[in-house]
Amino acid sequence: MKKKKMIDVFSEARFGMFIHFGLYSIPAGIWKGKEQGRNRYAEWIKYQANWPDGGAISDAEYNELAAEFNPVKFDADQWVWEAKNAGMKYIIITTKHHDGFALWDSKVSDYNVVKMTPFKRDIIRELKNACDKYGIILGAYYSHWLDWEHEFGAEPHWPEIPEDPTLEIVSNEKYEIYFQEKCIPQVTELLDDYGIRLFWFDSWQASPLLTESRLEELINLVHSRGGILNSRIGTTWNHHKKDEELVDFLSMLDNVFPDSKIAPPWETSGTFNDSWGYHALDFSWKDSNDLLKKLISNASNNGNYQLNIGPHADGSIPAPSIRRLREVGAWLAVNGESIYNTTCADLPIVEWGKLTMSKDGTIFAHVFENNPKLSLVLRGINKMPKKVEILETSQQVAFDYVNKCLILTMPKESIQTELNVIKIEF
Ligand code: FHN
């Protein structure tokens, strides 16, 4: 069988796992007994531990975390199994987040898990092997713009608290040294030594450092090996010519779920709670139905959902994430047909749920509301359906077809079940 192109696999994937894991997983949002302030993204603790009093954690103090990093419960097989079981098709992990610390045995910089920690194991290598075993694509989040370890990487600077930070205090010439000395060679390693072909670069505002020539160099590098990459490399925000032609898929800003259709391929990356990296005081876990609604909503608009986990410093996945991943997986195990290989249904929107459509024209109506008297109306239907049933139970759904309107009456037994899918075949 001909191997599918990476972009086609990604466009159809619909559900993926994002993982934020690194030195910041150790303090987990608490520094010297005090909860980190500002946006509570635990992976930002180096710059937010002391907010609003100013002052980052010094490099020396932050780097001491490396001597403590020993995720003995890290089990690549289990991480990938959880993703697979949840119905996810790919995993994107922070190979290097803004702190500059690499989760692989980088020859470019010793600031990495193998050279600096008692753990000494190559997390990316182990994950790649497990992903290959389970048929999951491994992708790399790589912080190309901010790098707080390299002398000349961009970093935040709070001149006047609580003003927003200037995200770079380095000159263009110096930044070029970082870019050529660390960013380009590390991305090359991930491509050539680890076989990674899916890249998620991270920027979210215009930056004079992310010049057209730098971005093109990085884009060309990834493309030269047949890899694909996302819009947050910076092109869209810099309004460069040909912006969207240069990148392979769009990434929304954090937790942004569009309410109308967008041309594929695109994805939303979202948190399980508030933080990306594990935060010990973040208990606002979204429930499984909320997560499923986000997945369904993006699928109904042609997009993927990339749900993040923030493993504990010991490498285990937090219990609330495990439970929800398995619940979402259980729903997908019986309703997956309404999500995978579907697109936007191109029908008038319905206020009671979301619609997807398979390649053969079958419509899947996802019912977000439950109400004993529920009668559901779908407009713009061109022909009389042959069969209408609840996907999970195969229970028949009564319907009337009048003036291009399909009026469905939910069977009374089914209305107690949340997130039913009605399959409408023609
Ligand atoms: O600053 C990062 C943040 O830590 C996290 O990695 C998210 C994920 O989308 N990206 C940036 C903020 O948008």
User: For residue 412, what is the DSSP state?
Assistant: T
189 lines ligand 1 (CB under 6 A): no
What residue owns the CA closest to ligand 1's atom 5? 276
Residue 30 has pLDDT above 80, yes or no: yes
- pLDDT band at residue 380 using 50, 70 and 90 as cut-offs: very high
CB of 205 closer than 8 Å to CB of 145:
no
CA of 274 to the centre of ligand 1 (A): 11
What does the block give as tokens for 384? Answer: 């009389």
Residue 159 has pLDDT above 90, yes or no: no
Torsion over CA: 425, 301, 267, 321 (sign): negative
426 lines ligand 1 (CB under 6 A): no
43 lines ligand 1 (CB under 6 A): yes
CA of 408 to the centre of ligand 1 (A): 43
- The answer to pTM > 0.85 is yes
pLDDT in tens, 249-296: 999 999 999 999 998 999 999 999 999 999 999 999 999 999 999 999
pLDDT at res. 16 = 98
Q: Give the number of other Cβ atoms within 10 Å of residue 212's Cβ.
A: 14
Lowest mean pLDDT among 228-242, 335-349, 412-426: 228-242
CB of 278 closer than 8 Å to CB of 310:
yes
CB of 49 closer than 8 Å to CB of 304:
no
122 lines ligand 1 (CB under 6 A): no
In terms of Cβ atoms closer than 10 Å to its own Cβ (0-12, 13-18, 19+), residue 410 is buried
For residues 416 and 426, give the distance between their C-alpha atoms in angstroms, rounded to a whole number: 27
Residue 165 has pLDDT above 70, yes or no: no
Nearest 5°: the CA angle 152, 158, 163 is: 140
Span 111-135, average pLDDT: 98
**CA 43 to ligand 1: nearest atom:** 4
CB of 150 closer than 8 Å to CB of 181:
yes
Contacts of 358 (CB under 8 A, 6+ apart): 337, 341, 342, 364
Percentage of the chain beyond pLDDT 70 is 95
What does the block give as tokens for 358? Answer: 């398979």
Span 8-34, average pLDDT: 96
